[in-house]
Structure 1
């Protein structure tokens, strides 16, 4: 299959099946995976080990991987379609907004875990009252147990939803390619394929999180944060004039 054919196939799948139902799919994965974990029907596997390579080298740095591919894609694709540098710069501020969402949400999760937890001695699970916060407890090699909202459920869901919104601009790429030239279009298509590969990886690791890690409330709330952050930005704020705006294809559809 040629690159052009692959791009067109992926673009059609996103338009017809992925983008309209992705938030629902993520919700179902969280609920279904949590039920499977609670029922203990899923056998241990390579992916149930927190030290598996995908978790250590990709998920732990998921925002960095996402941003590293999104930034060049958003700028080049939006400039390619609109031929407006200021518009392209405005659009990449969506990544700045996403970074702020990631930073403040994960810090909030840490505050909740610290506020609701206690320090335990890891061998016999006795409460250690002398360690009153999460950081000093863990620094001394002990176990802190609090309400641990799943950062992976939050960030992976937010990443896949954000990627899906931003790559929708490829639908406009096909119309502009003959006018704008193929060299830049080839770069955009390569980034598009790479982002789809990353999207598939994030969905898989989101599924592994659902069936192997955290308790159901932790994953439900984490996923709810991810979906809410996506809807609050792309579904509401980015439609306003005082915002990074929507990708050209989405702006025309009025999401």
Structure 2
């Protein structure tokens, strides 16, 4: 089990990188296949920049919250505060144990990544390629890879729920992941001055029409 937990920690650290590496070609190919407009493709690819900004902002926020709510202790049992160490890094360097409100970055990132993949794959309702089409193999491969990646993120989310952080920290982390998803795909991307939603999906068109009413 320790090896599994180490593996979970490692993969979560690079979760956003894996998500971007697969979503970038998927968004580019499917959006260009449907629209044929390079400008629209670039606009839609900016969703990855927005996602990166959300990831960076939230992880920095979580780190600051842990810093300002934490203290350095002499042992994991939180005995003996070491007042001379005012930062987590300094505390760890000197052999101390930092304890603060550590919002689960795992819960945040895995929630956000999985929901973003699901939203972008909604475009498959409109993507029609026969086996002879030059994009068929590439798109099919990316769909399988993204589906597999989503399963990995869900599995790691469950591992996080069982083995890492306390309940409150996990709830806050998941909340921020949901907030990042809804704030973009559920609100901002419905506006004209945004990267926009995946094109020509009937379900998303209905979603936009419902919002406008």
**TM-score after normalising by structure 1:** 0.76
Higher helix share: 1
Shift of 1:140: 2.3
Aligned mate of 1:214, from 159, 165, 170: 165
Find the counterpart in structure 2 of residue 116 from structure 1.
69
C-alpha change, 1:123 and 1:222, in structure 2 (3 Å) is: closer
CA RMSD for the aligned pairs?
A: 1.8
CA distance in 2, matches of 1:48, 1:213: 14
Equivalent positions of 1:98-109 (< 5 A) are 98-109=51-62
The size of the alignment, in residue pairs, is 205
**TM-score after normalising by structure 2:** 0.90
Shift of 1:48: 8.3
Task: Indicate the SS of the match to 1:169.
Answer: helix
Contact kept in structure 2, 1:173 and 1:185, CA below 8 Å:
no
Contact kept in structure 2, 1:73 and 1:188, CA below 8 Å:
yes
Shift of 1:49: 5.4
CA distance in 1, matches of 2:169, 2:65: 11
Equivalent positions of 1:1-255 (< 5 A) are 46=1, 50-51=5-6, 53-56=7-10, 58-122=11-75, 125-174=79-128, 177=129, 182-248=133-199, 249=201, 251-254=204-207
Structure 2: gaps of 5 or more residues:
209-213
Deviating 4+ runs (over 4 angstroms):
none
CA distance in 1, matches of 2:95, 2:195: 44
C-alpha change, 1:144 and 1:101, in structure 2 (3 Å) is: same
Structure 1: gaps of 5 or more residues:
1-45
C-alpha change, 1:196 and 1:47, in structure 2 (3 Å) is: farther
Contact kept in structure 2, 1:69 and 1:191, CA below 8 Å:
yes
Find the counterpart in structure 2 of residue 32 from structure 1.
none
Contact kept in structure 1, 2:76 and 2:97, CA below 8 Å:
no
CA distance in 1, matches of 2:58, 2:80: 31
CA distance in 1, matches of 2:139, 2:95: 47
C-alpha change, 1:47 and 1:190, in structure 2 (3 Å) is: farther
Higher relative contact order (CA 8 A, sep 6+): 1
Contact kept in structure 2, 1:48 and 1:208, CA below 8 Å:
no
C-alpha change, 1:159 and 1:68, in structure 2 (3 Å) is: same
- Which has the larger displacement, 87-96 or 134-143? 134-143
Contact kept in structure 2, 1:112 and 1:147, CA below 8 Å:
yes
